[in-house]
Homo-oligomer: A and B are copies of this chain.
Amino acid sequence: MCRLYIALLHYPVYNRRKEVVATAVTNLDIHDIARAAMTFGVGRFYIVTPVEEQRELVRRIADHWRKGFGSRYNPSRKEAFRTLAVVPSLEEAQGDIAGETNMRPVTVATGASLNGPFLRFSEMRERIRSREEPHLILFGTGWGLADEVARTADHRLEPVRGACEYNHLSVRSAAAIVLDRIAGRE
C-alpha cells in the first residue's frame, strides 16, 4: 500500500461555467483528505496549485499542525499532516514520486462526469495490491478536472455511484469513498 499516492488539483479545473480556472485552497480539504490518506495508507498527499501565495498558505497551515500549537493540541492531526506535500504542478508531483520510487507513477483521473473506458474499482484495488509501479490518483477541486488532465491520465476511474441519479459529492467525500473502495478493509 506504500505505492499509493493522491493529488488534489486546484489547476487546471473547471468552474461552474466550464471555464478552466485555478481554485482557492479550502482548509477542510487539507484536513479531511490528509486524515483519509493516513487512514488508508497513502504514501503522500499532494496539494497542487500554481499560485505561490496559496502554496505558502498551505505550508503555514501544515506547520501549525506539524510543529506549532496544533501538534500538541491534536497529535493525530500532526500524524496526518506528515503525508502532506505542496507542489506547483502535477508534473512536479510525478517527478517527486519518480525520484522516490525510480518508477514513473501511473496516473488515474477521478470525477463524476468523466468519459470511459473506465478502470473499475476492483481492478484498481487489485493493481495497487499486485503491481510494483506507484499509482497517483488525481482529484479535481471546483467543478472537476479539466479534460486535458482527464484525457492524458493513464486511466480514468469509474465514477462513484449511489442509489440515485444525483451525483454531486464534495471532493472530500469522493476522496474518502475512493480510498475506502480501493484500500479499505471490512
Contact = CB atoms under 8 A, between A and B. Distances in A.
Interface of A: 1, 16, 28, 31-32, 35-36, 38-41, 74, 76-77, 79-80, 120-122, 158, 160-164, 166-170, 172-177, 179-181, 183-186
Contacts of A162: 36, 39-41, 179-180, 183-185
Contact of A173 (B36, B167, B168): B36
Given A40-B162, A41-B162, A168 B80 contact: yes
Query: Which 10 A-B residue pairings sit nearest by Cβ, starting from the closest?
Result: A41-B163, A173-B176, A39-B162, A40-B162, A76-B168, A177-B180, A32-B170, A1-B163, A38-B166, A176-B176
B163 A183 contact: yes
A32 B74 contact: no
Contacts of A177: 176-177, 180, 184
A120 B41 CA distance: 22
A176 B39 CA distance: 14
A180 B179 contact: no
